[in-house]
Amino acid sequence: MVPTVYLDYAATTPVDPRVIAAMKPYFSDIFGNPSSVHRAGQQAEGALEGARRQVAEVLGAQPAEIIFTGCGSESDNLALRGAAWAGRMDRGASHILVTPVEHDAIGATADDLARRQEFEVERLTVDPHGRIEPGTLANAVRPDTAIVSVIYGNNEVGTVNPIPELAAVCRQAGVPLHTDAVQAGSQLPLDVDALGVDLMSLGAHKFYGPKGVGALYVRSGTRLSPHLTGGSHEFGLRAGTPNVALIVGLAEALRITAQERDEHNQRYRALRDRIIQRVLAEVPDAKLTGDPAERLPNHASFVLAGVDGNALLAALDLAGFACSSGSACKTGDPEPSSVLLAMGLAPDLALGSLRVTVGRQTTEADIDAFCDSLPKLIARLRRAEVAPG
């Protein structure tokens, strides 16, 4: 077996040992239901509310503004559905604004609201880097817009959107703004007042926490209808017994991430820039996707003419490198990425995408080994593509 160099930190991250240690007591020793009135329940409730305070502190929010969910995708669903339903109920608003470069947790949810409940969904135009300009949003927002959702840091191409400027447009229009910060949470500032957002989604496994737990920030006064009913948990917005162990893990992972962000980002940028420099210099017809400057510190992404992205991923895997062709949810999909198409790339070029993301465990030797191998693999695949028969 070839040892694997993991370069897919945008898909998921390993759980930090400090996070595992923080979670461990809540699987066996402190196992009560936080809704129970006895001592075991009170201990669990104390851990739950302590985690809520910890997350709120990182976000510059109030504890009552933090809702724990089962994952980042559920946070996105609750934000979009909840705000759309509340907007229609409160003021007859049935217009939803999203971007064409959202994660499917937003894009598919918006389409479902349009199909099942006759919401009008409009997708904002992005520039060639996948970025939304404030003027574009200002021209599209309407009095009957129920919710605007714009991704913070794009999972496929790494582009970072100007969320504070977009939030100012929404605030002037009196429309709530949600941002999917699931990909951004490991690297970008998350102060909700500085960002100006009304709703923000996070997923723990993107910042060295456990899978199966997420959080949604809901600014005080923002109306939201629950999409999961059956109990008064999470201020009545998300029914179901909370998974205390995973919630504690999310809070600890977020605390560590915020504390160490600048240190890690400095190293990520150096590794990322080395990847970009070498790939563009050494791979003919390689093109960087996403904004060259306003992009996630750990994220490099490309399209490669004459290369099938899935074949390249398989070849890289055999050579000992774990990468992606975009969103982990799209890996193996023979259709070109809708994100790349929205950015104006031709379908055949969009099929040749590659995403390389670094993390805490990545070394310079890992990057050099990858960059040494990639041009040879691409050349071999291109030869096979043009070979007769």
Amino acid at 292: P
Task: Quickly list DSSP for 232-248.
Answer: -TGGGTS-S---HHHHH
Identity (one letter) of the amino acid at 113? L
Distance between CA atoms of 94 and 120, rounded to whole angstroms? Answer: 6
283: its two tokens: 């791979």
Phi, psi of 305 (to 5 degrees): -60, 140
Q: How far apart are CA 98 and CA 143, in angstroms?
A: 16
Residue 233 in contact with residue 214, Cβ under 8 Å? no
| Of 255, 200, 254, the residue nearest 67 (C-alpha) | 200
CA pair distance 244, 48, nearest whole angstrom = 6
Q: Annotated active-site positions, please? A: 329
Question: Using CB atoms within 10 A of its CB, is residue 330 exposed (0-12), middle (13-18) or buried (19+)?
Answer: buried
Amino acid in the structure at residue 383: R
Residues 6+ apart with CB under 8 A from 323: 7, 8, 313, 316, 354, 355, 356
| Secondary structure E strands in 3-157 | 5-6, 66-69, 95-98, 120-123, 145-149
Token pair of 173 as six digits: 């229009």
